[in-house]
Amino acid sequence: MQSDASMNVETKRWLESLNDRQREAVLAGAGPVLVVAGPGTGKTKTLTVRLAYLLAERHVAPEALLAMTFTTRAAREMRERLERLIGSQADRVFLGTFHSFCFQLLKAEGHRLDLPPDFGVADRRDQITIMQRALRRLGQPDTRTATQRKLHEVIAFRNRQANIEPPVDDTGLAEIAEAYQRQLRKCDLLDFDELLFLGVRLLEGFADVRESLRQRYAHVLVDEYQDVDPVQQQLLGFLAGDRSRLWVVGDGDQAIYAFRGVESEHVLGFEQHFPNGRVITLDQSYRFTPQIAAAASQVIRQNALRRPLTLNTANASGVPVHVVSFPDEQAEAAWIVRQIEERVGGTSHYQQYKGKVTDTVSRREQSFRDVAVLCRLHALTKPLQEALRNSGIPHRVVGEARFFDKSIVKDVLAYLRVMHNPHDDSSFAHVLNRPPRGIGGQTQAALEAEAEQHGLSLYDALRRSVVLSSSQMRAVKSMITLLEEAQRKTEEKSLSQFIAYVADVTGLRQWRIDQDPRHENDLLLLRSIAAKYDEVNTATALEQFLEEATLAVEVDDYDASIDAVSLMTIHAAKGLEFSEVMLCGVEEGSLPRENADLEEERRLFYVALTRAKERVWLLHCRSRFLFGGRHDREPSRFLQEFDDSLKDTTVMPDRPRRSKPEAEQLSLLG
């Protein structure tokens, strides 16, 4: 370990801002090193100071550092922090997601796997369209529901095949997977999961590529290590070699992605996997009150498969955890709205709507962005969404639909993808009749069949098609001319200007705004996201922007600067924090879910609790309408797993029942 005397002043200042355990993790020598970091213990700060220390004191070249995480949002936050510490050197460090790393690797070396140099990545819309074609070729049902089901089954099938499990004997799925793969390649596309599979295949099959990367990266750092799946574990093995360069941070108590094939065994068994490995535990949390820390620790202690970790905090004492019982989901929604109005302030529209005007809505203790309503499933928030709309309280549903899935955004991205790769059939099919050009579904299906018959892309097939009428052919030729002219404009405009130009020249902007004026705001936001690439050559910027749009996951849409109440699932809230958290549906059957792994469900509850900094409300209903029926509900067992001294329980009374008319009153009608 380096002595303090030989360190520069800046490094000493960074290290002085850390506690003893964080400092030990930053200064750790050769690995492998596992940093077990409980919620709010400063794992991101520790990781970024570790990177800065390696650069400043170990004199590691920026290009020799590889730091990977799971969301673009987390990577962006790390990069911003690193820039504040070391300035422009941060731009030369690879700080990104596993998928973005594999994307760049396959762009550089994918020719070894016979990938086209300009391959794109299929988004969810592309995947569904391509699976429909594959099912149609096989004579199988291709309704949207059937397609989505088969897509899910094929992805799970491929994951099992890739995860070094015994071969799965399922000829039917194998045939569908192969047909789906052929259709992807016909469009010069990979899908999201293939990026990882093919990245691993490349490193496994080509020793020179593998050794080149090992020579390049002296240190491999991983955030959220508990979320690494078996394929990502293989990738890390190929990159880290003897693992001495591996430094990872994670928390098995926050492993909540078993449904994706992720288990936390690699965190639990770290010393067994790496006998020379070192484990450092961060348990001092700076996020929440002692009451929240104690409640969360008592609950998670019930799990058997975990590393011992009890959260500590020096923060000031706060209020108890609030447990509230409601007669039904309508009462729950009304109560949440009143709490937000009283704590944040607002117009009290909801109370006027319910005939209960009050003068108590002026306290403004918080901003709307400080409040989050979490749930196990989005379906639990439907009554609340309606109540919030009626109240006029600003809110957003995070993770339910990506920004990049909005109508005008999907349209513009499809045009950009076609300009980048005219043989992307999925994108070409999307733009063919947007705006309308008189080419209906039957004509488009005939075109696709014609292209398939001649082994052509849609773009090439259109030039020689015999299924189009003369007016349709004129419209299509006009569109192709327009696309080719637009391609020539790429060097004349910045990317954000080019997006505006494409939206206007194709007629998309006016067509969508005529349908709904709110599309204008979506287009402006798309341009603002693209503006960060405006200093880059537009052709290069276009490729980088399409990569970002495709690789973004739902939770990347969260923007902390927007002053609105956040509604999101517990999975989407992971990695975030809020002053006040309300957790809905803390009921048997919802949290924990029926027949689910109890320890995983308890980890979900733990993650939800530890998103709150000051106050947390745990809400449950005695009756709830869900999935088409009304059901009696019992409070979650998790509510009994922490001391009564840490909680404050309120039971809201049942709604008064209407009394039935007496028989003699009814007889008046006789």
What type of residue sits at position 549?
A
Catalytic residue flag (residue 224): yes
**DSSP letter string, 416-471:** HHHHH-TT-HHHHHHHTTSS--S--HHHHHHHHHHHHHHT--HHHHHTT-SSS-HH
Q: Which two structure tokens, joined as six digits, stand for 345?
A: 């302030």
**Degrees (nearest 5) of the Cα angle 615, 619, 620?**
165
**Residue closest to 486 by CA, chosen among 468, 474, 498:** 498
Cis peptide before 383 (omega within 30 of 0): no
> Which of 126, 188, 191, 223 is an active site residue?
223
Catalytic residue flag (residue 382): no
The 8-class DSSP code of residue 589 comes to: B
Q: How far apart are CA 344 and CA 362, in angstroms?
A: 7
Say if CB 132 and CB 426 are below 8 A apart: no
How close are the terminal C-alpha atoms of the chain, in Å?
A: 96
Compute CA 395 distance to the chain's CA centroid, rounded to the nearest angstrom: 19
Q: How far apart are CA 565 and CA 567, in angstroms?
A: 7
Say if CB 219 and CB 247 are below 8 A apart: yes
Q: How far apart are CA 195 and CA 191, in angstroms?
A: 7
Catalytic residue flag (residue 647): no
Compute CA 646 distance to the chain's CA centroid, rounded to the nearest angstrom: 33
Catalytic residue flag (residue 493): no
Q: How far apart are CA 228 and CA 162, in angstroms?
A: 14
Catalytic residue flag (residue 84): no
> Which of 43, 376, 406, 633 is an active site residue?
43
Say if CB 151 and CB 127 are below 8 A apart: yes
Catalytic residue flag (residue 637): no
> Which of 611, 615, 624, 633 is an active site residue?
611
> Which of 11, 226, 254, 610 is an active site residue?
254
**Residue closest to 196 by CA, chosen among 267, 262, 248:** 262
Q: Which residues contact 331 (CB under 8 A, 6 or more apart)?
A: 621, 652, 655
Q: Which residues contact 181 (CB under 8 A, 6 or more apart)?
A: none
Helix (H) or strand (E) holding 107, with range, is helix 98-109
Tell me the angle at which helices 508-515 and 407-420 cross, rounded to the nearest 10 degrees.
160
**Stated length of the chain:** 670
> Which of 109, 123, 188, 224 is an active site residue?
224
Q: How far apart are CA 364 and CA 343, in angstroms?
A: 6
- Quote the strand ranges of 48-104, DSSP E: 65-69, 94-97
What type of residue sits at position 125?
R
Say if CB 450 and CB 417 are below 8 A apart: no
**DSSP letter string, 62-78:** GGGEEEEES-HHHHHHH
Q: Which two structure tokens, joined as six digits, stand for 85?
A: 């510490």
Say if CB 220 and CB 94 are below 8 A apart: no
Could you give the C-alpha distances from 46 to 43, 69, 250, 585, in angstroms and in order? 5, 14, 12, 35
Q: How far apart are CA 317 and CA 389, in angstroms?
A: 35
**DSSP letter string, 279-301:** EEEE-B-SSS-HHHHHHHHHHHT
Q: Give the residue numbers marked as catalytic.
A: 43-44, 223-224, 254, 611
